[in-house]
């Protein structure tokens, strides 16, 4: 089934709009289509262009538009939508997902562990990469070597905020990265470790591993490797995976019970 056909079907079922792609000057860009525009919907998903779809959905809801919408979503987009739904940023129940499976090539490039959404409408399923070679490569370094590696990487940060701005699960109105008490104003590169590890700490229980931050970074800093590790840590400690499941509670979003604390809370 093509995306356009699927969108037609959703409109027949009563959605008010469909967030899909529109070809403009040879480039596919996200667009919220109404029923009358359905013929303009790109049949396919742009292979190598990705967008923070969930972030766009959040802004659609923020703009006050109330209604049901269909959303073309890859695996990571769906995870971001689930995460945003859990955090009360969007109403997940108002969404109908048009699921797109990523190509093997895309999945390998992303080292994506689940390159498909829960239901696939377009594309065929590739199982995904369970172990990130990039994370393992950093882990295999000695402590000092790792420090030198990250220091060198972050030395080229321009503090453009691109990584934060594109992140579909970053939505705070007041951002700690802009808090002068934490990160000094007017210095580039920004203070390390506070700037980057602050973000890593926050992403540990939220990052859905879309990799858009790294792709948008003008300095090519391997941010995804850092956040992949951060989420691995949370997975290991709390068996929690951001965006995996609407019913799983975030360990940092809820206080929980003593029995849920990882072992050794008493000797800590």
Partner 1 sequence: MMSEARGSSVKIPDDVRIVAFLCNWCSYAGADLAGVSRMQYPPNVVGIRVMCTATVSPYHVLKALQMGADGVLIAGCHIGDCHYLKGNYMTYKRYLILREILRFAGINEKRVRLEWISAAEGEKFAEVIRSFTEEVREAGLSPLRKNEVIKSEFGEKLKNAFRSLEVVK
142-161 residues in contact with partner 1 (CB under 8 A) are: 143-151
Contact status: 261 vs partner 1 (CB under 8 A): yes
Q: Which x/- pattern over 231-260 shows residues binding partner 1 (rule: CB under 8 A)?
A: --xx--xx------------xx--xx-x--
Q: How many helices and strands, by DSSP H and E, does the chain display?
A: 10, 4
Edge to edge, the sheet with strand 17-24 lists 27-33, 17-24, 69-73, 95-99
At 30, is the secondary structure helix, strand, or coil?
strand
Q: How far is the CB of 180 from partner 1 (least distance, A)?
A: 11
Q: Which partner, partner 1, ligand SF4, none, binds residue 25 by CB below 5 to 8 Å per kind?
A: none
Residue 219 contacts ligand SF4 per CB under 6 A? yes
Task: Confirm or reject binding of residue 212 to ligand SF4 (CB under 6 A).
Answer: yes
Beta carbons within 8 Å of 263's beta carbon, 6+ residues apart:
none
- 257 is written with which tokens? 């019970």
Are the beta carbons of 223 and 214 closer than 8 angstroms?
yes
Residue 144 contact partner, candidates ligand SF4, partner 1, none, CB within 5 to 8 A by sort of partner? partner 1
Are 171 and 85 contacting, i.e. CB atoms less than 8 angstroms apart? no
Residue 217 contacts ligand SF4 per CB under 6 A = yes
Residue with structure tokens 């990052």? Answer: 207
Per the CB < 8 A criterion, the answer to whether 55 and 80 are in contact is yes
The distance of Cα 181 from the centroid of its chain, to the nearest Å, equals 28
Question: If we measure between CA atoms, which residue out of 100, 33, 34 comes closest to residue 73?
Answer: 100
Identified binder of partner 1 from the candidate list 93, 181, 185, 186, rule CB under 8 A: 181
Residue 268 C-beta: closest distance to partner 1, Å? 5
The single residue among 159, 191, 194, 229 that binds ligand SF4, judged by CB under 6 A, is: 159
In this chain, which of 191, 216, 222, 248 binds partner 1, going by CB under 8 A? 191
Binding residues for partner 1, rule: CB under 8 A, are: 138-139, 141, 143-151, 176, 181-182, 184, 191-194, 197-198, 200-201, 204-205, 226, 229-230, 233-234, 237-238, 251-252, 255-256, 258, 261-262, 265-266, 268
């Amino acid at each position: 089934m093509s995306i356009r056909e699927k969108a037609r079907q959703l409109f027949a079922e009563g959605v008010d709009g469909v967030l899909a792609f529109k070809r403009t000057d040879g480039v596919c860009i996200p667009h919220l289509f109404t029923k009358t525009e359905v013929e303009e919907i790109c049949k396919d998903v742009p292979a190598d262009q990705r967008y923070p779809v969930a972030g766009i959905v959040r802004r659609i809801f923020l703009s006050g538009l109330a209604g049901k919408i269909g959303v073309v979503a890859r695996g990571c987009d769906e995870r971001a939508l689930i995460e945003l739904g859990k955090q009360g940023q969007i109403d997940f129940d108002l969404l109908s997902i048009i699921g797109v499976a990523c190509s093997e090539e895309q999945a390998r490039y992303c080292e994506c562990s689940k390159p498909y959404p829960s239901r696939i409408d377009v594309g065929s399923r590739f199982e995904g990469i369970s172990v990130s070679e990039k994370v393992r490569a950093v882990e295999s370094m000695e402590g000092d070597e790792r420090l030198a590696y990250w220091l060198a990487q972050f030395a080229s940060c321009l503090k453009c905020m691109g990584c934060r701005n594109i992140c579909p699960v970053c939505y705070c109105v007041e951002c700690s990265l802009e808090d002068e008490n934490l990160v000094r104003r007017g210095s580039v590169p920004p203070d390390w470790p506070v700037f980057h590890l602050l973000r890593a700490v926050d992403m540990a229980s939220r990052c859905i591993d879309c990799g858009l931050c790294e792709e948008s970074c003008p300095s090519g800093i391997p941010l995804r490797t850092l956040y992949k590790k951060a989420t691995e840590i949370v997975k290991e400690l709390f068996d929690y995976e951001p965006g995996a499941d609407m019913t799983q509670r975030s360990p940092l979003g809820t206080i929980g019970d003593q029995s849920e604390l990882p072992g050794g809370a008493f000797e800590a």
